[in-house]
Structure 1
Amino acid sequence: MLTVQSMLNARGQTTKWPANMPSEKWYRLFKKRHPGVVLCTPQKLGKQKALVRKSSIMKCFADFQATVTDFDASILLDPSRIYNCDESGFSLDTSFGKVLSFVGTKFVYQVGSEQKTMITVLVCCSATGHFVHPMMIYPGTQFRGFRLQEVFDDSFITKSKNGWTNQSIFLDWLQQVFHPETAHVKRPILLLVDGHISHQSIGAATFCKDNGIILYALPPHASHLMQPLDVGVFNTMKAKWRKSVKKQNELEIVTKRTFALVFKDAYETTIKRDLAPQAFRNSDIYPLDPNNIEWQKILPDITAEVATRARGCREGR
């Protein structure tokens, strides 16, 4: 309705509707005339991501190909040498959606954590589906209330005041996790990251240069298109996480102390699937082919479209 109002205003048209806002009756008739148009629940898209355009993405792919080719063109043909790492937050307080209840029940509850704590997890995988051990970043200055041995073995645990990654933590991960676990891979190898400041430090750049790691920052606000983990892994992992939390809460509420063991189930279930290779294909990183990207994920330039239509109306077309 607001979109229709905006288009009418851009065209300079006036209608019988107050302030050009369509009526509910018009909306009902519109749906009847266009049965192929349905009401959907949209996915949340940040403002900056909404401004991304096809031309800028194509340029990013061209720059990416040129940069990697300058180092070693054979990397782009070898999926075992292409990695992507990214961080995502996992909340102790998950939303489980609707539950069954008797008609007339006034209060419906579901037991869960009251903590709003978010644990950051860094995940890394290659285009062949090789996952290196995940890193969990706990908020706080010290570990209280649980023992480190309660963390599942195949993981790296650390902490920061706010629970987010930083330059020091990322360098530790490169040195203690990524480099040792990819030592068997032919050098140089490519590590794709986002443009977050935590990935940009002299220490990280120097370590990568000395150890045959090409650290490449993907363009900002385009992770939903170009970053494999965002494109095809994290959604599944978070869905598994919610199920694992729901199961655990039936026995004991998930806390910082038990987070790692509960997360282990979601993580291991996810990486057993063939998600990573498909995610690299869907993001067109491997094989490299930006023409196959899902351009439907980019919002149409409504402003330009409205302006074009308005100009056409003024010219009598």
Structure 2
Amino acid sequence: MLRARRPRPPYRAYSQENLVEALNKIQNGGNSVRAISKQYNIPKTTLLDKLSGRRPVYTTQGPKPVMTPEEETRLEKWLLSMSRIGYGQTRRELCLTVKKILDDDGRKNPFKDNMPGPQWVRAFMRRHPKISERAGEALGKERAMLSSSKLEEWFAKFEEFMASDEIIDGEEILSDPRRLFNCDESGFPLAGKAEKVLAPRGTKNVYQFSNSDKHQITVLACMNAAGFYIEPMLIFPNTRFRYNPLDGAPDTWCVGRSGNGWMNSEVFYEWIANHFVPEVQQKKIPFPIVLFIDGHSSHVSYATATFCAENEVILYCLPAHSSHVLQPCDLSLFKSLKSAWKIHTKTWKANHVGQTITKLQFASVFAGAWKSASTVKNAKNGFESAGLFPLDSGRFDRDKLIPSSIFLKSPDSTPQTGTTAVLAAGCSIAEKSTAYETALRVLEESMTEEKVWLFKRRLNEGYDFDTDTFYNAWKKIKLQADGSNTSNIQATGSNTADEIQATTGINTDDVQAATGSNTIDVHHHATTTPSPAAKKRTNVSEALDKHLRYPTAQPGRPQNEKRKPLPHAISGRVFIQYLEDKKREKEIEETRKRVNREKRAAKKAQNEATKKTPSRKRTTEEVDEQREIDENMCAKCKKPYEDDDDNWIGCEFCERWFHKECTDIMDAAELSDTELSELEWQCDHCMEK
């Protein structure tokens, strides 16, 4: 008879919390090990091993990680910091960094060529749940260099302009959300990206029917801070249409046409003059009004500026490369509109199997996406997030400006890099001070493992005791070390060592030995190398200091001439005067070029008239014959040259010389030198050619 296999018992039938509680009861309550073992269902040998110290209280299942917990914690903070400053690492880049550390460290590991694989990455992310894989947004250098000081300066200049004599009732305009508008363009592709589809397992080639037309339709959107939307303009890449481009869309929409389908100054002027201003007047919104635009060249033209000045439209330009921070349409509308466009295109394709969206169907499909995205909430949230209404320079998201810390400069014009630059920008980054981490380690080394575990559990579950000063001191340092409460970290530092001694009774010498000072200076300790005492306490390889580095600003091209900043008020007197001066300079330059072209043409014609007929190119035979000519003998009698120059005469068309009597010139011996020089004589060799 076959015996049934007994099921394997679980690895651990008790929780870590029950184990710690059981150990505390044995140590403090005087209970026997046998009784506690039965009560908590924990093996007696396990309790004895934990009590005697033969086994640690906290254990993990599986093989020991290649990197120590301290090293992995530092690696985690480095990854989070790099992500916040715009240099997020991919899985492969993380593996390459670990490979460099292992190559320098030389420790044993199960990896091939010290290169971790996908399994190690998954285990690392499970051990550090703060890290997740996200799709990164491309960030150009120009946007990365945008700092909060530049935006605050723009807000100050805008307030100053609205309070100037050029604007009537500027405060009233800023307080009325109906009179604050923003417009911007975005492209909507006709052919979407291919997605994952259901296909037979193991199929080598999987296709998805799509539109082969890679064009996109530009949409100009405009809204105000009260939630009112101007009907959109669709810009098509055509000069004439054989179809109705607004088929399926409301009749109030408008169409723009350009050669490449992008916005240009002519199309923008037509929209301002024939669509924007009439619709605002139709809604009986009081003028003057403010229209925020970006600094694209299509928005800045003399015709547009003068029209806006005449019709009480304050055309004001946002800071350069700040659309992702201050452009209300980018902050709220376009994100929702793009998502709605994807949904409506998928729905249309599902209802029209085998068909693709072309320029003919674009308006009808886009109409549904516009209706679902152009909500009052999106408009209000966009202006509020940008700090444009209510006008507040402290409203915009400063976390988007953290990458600019790489390019910050100190007062002595020395570029700050890495974490120092992040701290100088006042950014909340996880790695503000390694001194707090060191202080936390010193504090936790004086505690039992059970106490540390209980404190962490209490913090994670959120139940605090105000009377427990020891726990409150540990919590404050823990939050600061983890970057969860970086707002409490002052730039001037804080006496953390004194605070620990006052609240916990721990000797401050340990803290000072680890941090190097009684006062923890955030700016200093963020970039300096830990002291030998700290390295001894932390089980961290020196290879991490070498390879966990932060990016540095690369020196740009030297600028010999600094451009004068242009005013942001496009419809203001100063900018219109600037455009008029540029127009005048351009006319003068064109006149100068035209005069120069006429001079060159006249000179060319004169040269053509006086130009001689080009001589015939000599043949090879003529060249060889020329080489055979000897100027030191008579070409006919072949007698050598004599000192009597009066007896010689040369051919005018070659280099041959003859005795006068050897030529066919009649009475050549009686002719004078003047008569001979005026005589264009040609020898027989030249006459035969």
Under TM normalisation by the shorter chain, which class is it? 0.7 to 0.9
Alignment partner, residue 418 of structure 2: 306
- Choose from 308, 311, 330 the match for 1:208: 308
SS at structure 1 position matched to 2:402: coil
Structure 2 residue 344 is matched with structure 1 residue 244: yes
Alignment partner, residue 133 of structure 2: 39
Alignment partner, residue 9 of structure 1: none
Structure 2 vs 1, CA of residues 17 and 160 (structure 1 numbering), >3 Å: closer, same or farther?
A: same
Alignment partner, residue 380 of structure 2: 277
Structure 2 vs 1, CA of residues 181 and 104 (structure 1 numbering), >3 Å: closer, same or farther?
A: same
Cα separation, 1, equivalents of 2:245 and 2:526: 63
Aligned letter for 2:529? C
Instruction: Give the conservation status (yes or no) of the 8 Å contact 1:96–1:242.
Output: no
**Shift in Å, 1:52:** 1.1
Alignment partner, residue 17 of structure 2: none
Identity of aligned residues (%): 35
Aligned letter for 1:150? D
Alignment partner, residue 109 of structure 2: none
Structure 2 vs 1, CA of residues 315 and 182 (structure 1 numbering), >3 Å: closer, same or farther?
A: farther
Alignment partner, residue 247 of structure 2: 150
Alignment partner, residue 256 of structure 1: 359
Cα separation, 2, equivalents of 1:15 and 1:76: 56
Larger displacement relative to structure 2 (201-210 or 33-42): 33-42
Cα separation, 2, equivalents of 1:147 and 1:45: 38
Matches within 5 A, 1:1-317: 17=103, 24=116, 31=125, 34-70=128-164, 71=167, 72-95=170-193, 97-144=195-242, 146-148=243-245, 150=247, 152=249, 153-183=251-281, 184-250=284-350, 251=352, 252-272=355-375, 274-300=377-403, 301-302=405-406, 304-306=416-418, 308=420, 312-313=528-529
Structure 2 vs 1, CA of residues 60 and 168 (structure 1 numbering), >3 Å: closer, same or farther?
A: same
Larger displacement relative to structure 2 (214-223 or 107-116): 107-116
Instruction: Give the conservation status (yes or no) of the 8 Å contact 1:112–1:249.
Output: no
Q: Which runs of 5+ in 1 are unaligned?
A: 7-13
Cα separation, 2, equivalents of 1:29 and 1:248: 42
**CA RMSD of the aligned region, Å?**
3.0
SS at structure 1 position matched to 2:234: strand
The structure with more radius of gyration: 2
Structure 2 vs 1, CA of residues 29 and 148 (structure 1 numbering), >3 Å: closer, same or farther?
A: closer
What is the number of residues matched between the two proteins? 307
TM-score (ref. length: structure 2): 0.41
Q: List per-residue Cα deviations over 1:125-150 (Å, max 9, x = no partner).
A: 00011111111111132224x22462
Aligned letter for 1:287? P
Q: Which runs of 5+ in 2 are unaligned?
A: 1-74, 88-99, 106-113, 408-415, 421-524, 535-689
Cα separation, 2, equivalents of 1:253 and 1:56: 45
**Shift in Å, 1:35:** 3.1
**Shift in Å, 1:313:** 3.2
TM-score (ref. length: structure 1): 0.86
Write 1 or 2 for the structure with the bigger share of strand: 1
Cα separation, 1, equivalents of 2:102 and 2:247: 68
Alignment partner, residue 617 of structure 2: none
Cα separation, 1, equivalents of 2:226 and 2:141: 33
Aligned letter for 1:24? P
Aligned letter for 1:51? M
Instruction: Give the conservation status (yes or no) of the 8 Å contact 1:17–1:23.
Output: no
**Shift in Å, 1:273:** 5.3
**Shift in Å, 1:224:** 0.6
